[in-house]
Structure 1
Amino acid sequence: MRPIRLEMSAFGSYAGRTVIDFSNISGGLFLVTGDTGAGKTTIFDAITYALYDRTSGGRRDGNMMRSQYAKEGADTYVEYTFSYQDQVFQIRRNPEYLRAGKRRGKDGEVRMVREAAKVELIMPDGQVFRGKKRETDQKIIEIMGLTAEQFTQTAMIAQGDFLKLLLAESRERKKIFSRIFQTEVCSRVQEELKKRA
C-alpha cells in the first residue's frame, strides 16, 4: 500500500481541515517527525481509522477521535486515498459524533444532532462499493489482505514499542519482534526440531 493523500477534518488533534499530499514524496519510506504533541500519532491514527475503524494503537475507537478543538458545526471525517497493486482506492470514514444542527430550537438554542458513523469505499473504476458498513469493512480487509492487528504489527510500530526496541538488549529485542510479528509459533517449532535432532 502506498499513501497518496490523507484529509482529516476535526479529527484528533487537528481542529480544522488538514490535507497531507504524499504523492510529491519520492522513494517509498516516510518519516513523520515533530515535537511532542504536534499530531504525529494522529496521522497514523487517521490512516488506520480510515482502513479499519480503529486507531493505530488500538486503545481508542473512532468515536473518541472527534477533535476537542473542533467548531460545533465542523464535520469529523478522514478521507484516505492510497494505491495498492497499481490500483487507486479512496475511503471516507466518519465516527458517530454530535455536531451543531443547521436549525435552532424554539428557544433559539443551537440543537445538537447525532451524526451516524459511515464509511464509503471508492473502487479503482470510480464506483462506490455497494454494501453496508460491515460489508464495506470486510471488503477493505479483502483489498488490504491484512486485518487491523496484522496491519498495525507490520506497517506501524507503536511509538512506545519503538523506543523499547531502540533501548533493549538483543534478547529483549527478540521478544519485542516476536510479539510484533507474532513469531511465537515459529519459536516453538524451532525448539521442537532441536529436541528431535
Structure 2
Amino acid sequence: MRDDAEVETAVVSSLESPSAPEGFVLEEIEMRGFMRYLEKTVPPLRFPEKYTVITGRTGAGKSSILDAITFALYGKTTRTDIQSVKLADICRPNGYVRVAFHQGDERWDVTRGFTTKKESYLEVTRDGEAVQGTIPDKERTIRDVVGLDYDGFRNSTFVRQEEMKELGAASGSERLAVFQKLFRLEIFEQALERAKERFTSLKSDIQAKEAEIAAREEALGRLPDLQQQLGSLDEERKVRGDRVAKLQSDF
C-alpha cells in the first residue's frame, strides 16, 4: 500500500501573468490500483500552480505519477515501452487513473482503467459533458486537444534517471551527444530534413509554374501578330470569294 509520507509535493508559483493564455495545464490526478498506488488517492494529487516539484526517495512513486498521466491520456507508459510489460501488469482489475486538466478555456477530465473483468475503458468529458465514441475516437480527440501524440508528450516531459547519470559521467563531445539524446534533438533534425525536402519540392513546383507562365506570356505576346495574320487571311478569303462569284456569274 502507498505510504503518503513517501511522496511530497512542493509548489513553485508561476512567473507568468495570470492573464497569459494557457495551453495544457494539469489540475489533478486520481489513482487506484495503478502500479504501487493500490488504494484510491484521497484526496487526489492536485497541482494548483503551473510549476510543481515532486520529491521523494527512490521507489516512493514519483515516476508512477508521470506514468499515470500518459496512461490516462494515451494508454501507454515508459514501462510499457518495454515489450514484455503489458498494461494489465501496471493497472489492476477495477483500477484506474483519472487526469483533469485545462486546455485553453476548456476543462477536460480523462479516466482510463480496467473493469473487474479486466475490460479496458476510457471516459472523456469536456466542461462536464461526456465525449461520445469508441476508445480510438476518444484517443484521437485527446491527441488533438493536447497537440501531441504519446511519443511527443513523453519526449517533451520525461528525462530518465539513467540518462541523467550518463550526463554526469560524460565530458566534452560525449556530453553534447548525451544532451542530444536527452532532449531528442534528432526529432528536430528529422523535422528540418523534412522541411528541406518540402522546400525543394515546392521550389521545383514554383519553377515549373514560372516556366509555364513564361510560355503563356510569350504566346500572348505573339497574339497581335497572329491576329494581324488572321485578318490578312480573312481579306484574302474575301477577295478569292469575290473572284469565284464573278467566274460563276460569267458562266
Q: Which residue of 1 aligns with 2:53?
A: 31
Name the amino acid aligned to 1:38. Answer: A
The equivalent position to 1:12 in structure 2, one of 24, 35, 58, is 35
Counterparts in 2 of 1:33-48, with a 5 A limit? 33-48=55-70
User: What is residue 126 of structure 2 aligned with on the other side?
Assistant: 123
**Does the alignment pair 1:147 with 2:170?**
no
Evaluate the alpha carbon distance shift between residue 30 and residue 173 of structure 1 in structure 2; reply closer, same or farther with a 3 A threshold: farther
* RMSD (Å) for aligned C-alpha atoms: 2.5
Mapped to 2, the partners of 1:181 and 1:56 lie a distance apart of 16
Deviation (angstroms), 1:171: 2.3
Mapped partners of 1:134, 1:13: distance in 2: 27
Alignment check: 8 A CA contact 1:49 1:56 kept: no
* Structure 1 counterpart of 2:105, one-letter code: D
Pairwise CA distance, 1:122: 0.6
8 Å CA contact 1:55, 1:61 repeated in 2: no
Unaligned runs of 5+ in 2: 1-23, 194-251
The answer on whether the counterparts of 1:34 and 1:40 sit within 8 Å (CA) in structure 2 is yes
The 8 Å contact of residues 11 and 66 in structure 1, kept in 2 or not, is answered as yes
User: Residues 158-188 of structure 1: CA distance to partner in whole angstroms, max 9, x if unpaired?
Assistant: 2322332344324233323323444336399
Residue of structure 2 in register with 1:86 after alignment: 105
Identical amino acids, percent of aligned pairs: 26
Whole-angstrom distance in 2 between the partners of 1:95 and 1:169 = 46
2:96 is the alignment partner of 1:77: yes
SS of residue paired to 1:138: helix
- More moved, 154-163 vs 33-42: 154-163
Report 1 or 2 for greater relative contact order, CA contacts < 8 Å, sequence distance ≥ 6: 1
The alignment partner of 1:161 has SS state of helix
Which position in structure 1 is the counterpart of 2:19?
A: none
Taking structure 1 as the reference length, the TM-score comes to: 0.73
The higher radius of gyration belongs to 2
Shift of 1:31: 1.5
Aligned residues: 164
- Residue 55 of structure 2 aligns to a residue in which SS? coil
2:18 aligned residue:
none
TM value normalised by structure 2: 0.58
Residues 46, 55 of structure 1: 8 Å contact kept: yes
Q: Which has the higher strand share?
A: 1
How far apart, CA to CA, are the structure 1 residues paired with 2:162 and 2:77? Answer: 15
Q: Is the 8 A contact 2:94 2:114 kept in 1?
A: no
Is 1:177 aligned to residue 179 of structure 2? Answer: yes
Between 1:155-164 and 1:34-43, the stretch displaced more is 155-164
